[in-house]
């Protein structure tokens, strides 16, 4: 898919300024009270930074959780207002959903920029990783469009959490953008995977960075 969507980001820098290898943990579909605060606790235990691609509907319901993620040094990105697929949604409606989600994010990001003195380019990830070339062409001048290099499949009820972990450990390389989900659907695997990934790669000397 990478050649089809030029200009999208699939991997990050393999190492940080310290020379330590890096992973980029990303969480899709939140924020929700059942999962996101727990994720923040796990990340804090390892001084790990991450990126949360937020659904606008959830931002409307739980802005305080998004503010907590920003206060902890994490980044927020746009995952559309209603989590619709670009393959099944008319382009004007899809782009309107992106814009609506960004409207929810804007005051949160502005307040965070005031605290830290930095205004970073907005991030966008398409739900299901589905894009069309016309949609990408519209978004690319305004957003960093972020895909991934490692999908944990924590949302898959047919994939046992222990197997999902084994597959992730076999495939992960420095610089990978890793997808997890702070959603109720992914809860069983997320709560198995995340603490083990953090512990394993911390022991190997990795750092966890936000995009």
Say yes or no to pLDDT of 150 above 90.
yes
Domains of the chain: 2-208 (3.20.20.370)
Given a cut of 70, whether residue 20 has pLDDT beyond it is yes
Residue 6 pLDDT: 79
pLDDT in tens, 153-208: 999 999 999 999 999 999 999 999 999 999 999 999 999 999 999 999 999 999 99
**What is the pTM for the complete model shown?**
0.95
* DSSP bridge partners of 100: none
Is 83 marked active-site? no
Name 134's Cβ contacts closer than 8 Å, sequence gap at least 6. Answer: 91
Q: Which of 11, 10, 44 is nearest to 175 (CA)?
A: 11
Active-site option among 28, 29, 176, 182? 28
Q: Is residue 77 a contact partner of residue 55, using CB atoms and an 8 Å limit?
A: no
Q: Tokens 């990795």, residue? A: 206
The confidence band for 7, taking pLDDT boundaries of 50, 70 and 90, is: confident
112 in active site:
no
**Catalytic residue (choose from 62, 74, 79, 181):** 181
**pLDDT grade, residue 118 (50/70/90)?**
low
Question: 119 falls in which pLDDT band (50, 70, 90)?
Answer: confident
Measured distance CA(178)–CA(176) in Å, rounded: 6
Residue 3 has pLDDT above 90, yes or no: no
Task: Say whether pLDDT at 1 is over 60.
Answer: no
pLDDT digits (tens, 9 = 90+) for 32-77: 999 999 999 999 999 999 999 999 999 999 999 999 999 999 999 9
| The token pair that represents 78 in the structure block | 């746009």
Taking residues 105-110, what's their average pLDDT?
93
């Amino acid at each position: 898919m990478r050649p089809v969507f030029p200009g999208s980001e699939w991997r990050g820098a393999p190492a940080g300024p310290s020379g330590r290898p890096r992973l980029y943990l990303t969480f899709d579909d939140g924020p929700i009270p059942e999962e996101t605060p727990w994720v923040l606790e796990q990340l804090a235990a390892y001084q790990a930074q991450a990126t949360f691609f937020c659904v606008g509907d959830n931002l409307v319901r739980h802005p305080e959780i998004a503010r907590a993620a920003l206060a902890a040094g994490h980044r927020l990105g746009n995952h559309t207002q209603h989590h619709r697929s670009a393959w099944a949604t008319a382009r004007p409606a899809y782009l309107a959903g992106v814009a609506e989600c960004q409207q929810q994010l804007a005051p949160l990001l502005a307040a965070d920029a005031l605290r830290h003195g930095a205004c970073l380019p907005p991030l966008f990830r398409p739900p299901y990783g589905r894009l069309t070339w016309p949609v990408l062409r519209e978004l690319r001048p305004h957003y960093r469009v972020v895909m991934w290099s490692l999908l944990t499949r924590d949302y898959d009820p047919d994939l046992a959490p222990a197997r999902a972990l084994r597959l992730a450990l076999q495939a992960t390389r420095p610089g990978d953008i890793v997808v997890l989900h702070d959603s109720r659907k992914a809860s069983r695997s997320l709560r198995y995977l995340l603490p083990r990934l953090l512990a394993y790669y911390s022991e190997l000397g990795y750092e966890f960075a936000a995009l």
